[in-house]
Amino acid sequence: MRNHWVWRQRFAEALADNIQPDRWGVSRVFIGGSTSRGDAGPASDIDLYIECLGSVQQKKDLSLWLEGWSRCLGEVAHQQTGQPFSDGILNIQWLEREPDVWQRAELRELKLDSSAPNMRDDIP
């Protein structure tokens, strides 16, 4: 059996590393679902939970950027598995605050762009 979650995890980490927190107002990114649990199958999507504290425009711009990633990763997934992802592979959930305790058990935080300051550092 192929480890479908491994390459999904690596791409999710690469995506998070390319997010520019100041540009899009992102404070945290989490991965959840089957990729986080390590049991993703060929038809599994990638569940990302994004805490965005930026403006409406920043969130809109980020959504477009993520759509590009989603479609590209969907094509990679199609090549890897034969499973089409015509609308992309990312399932984005927007967080307006830190995840609840019951959510945290499933979620794993991904490291954001290491060269950028964390938006949460500015929150008193």
pLDDT at 110 over 60: yes
pLDDT at 118 over 90: no
| Residue 114 confidence class, pLDDT cut points 50, 70, 90 | low
What is the number of structural domains in the chain? 1
- Domain annotation covers residue 120: no
- Domain annotation covers residue 119: no
**Can you give the pLDDT at residue 109?**
94
pTM, two decimals, is 0.86
User: Residue 98's Cα: distance from chain center in Å?
Assistant: 15
pLDDT tens digits along 35-59: 999 999 999 999 999 999 999 999 9
- Domain annotation covers residue 9: yes
**Can you give the pLDDT at residue 42?**
93
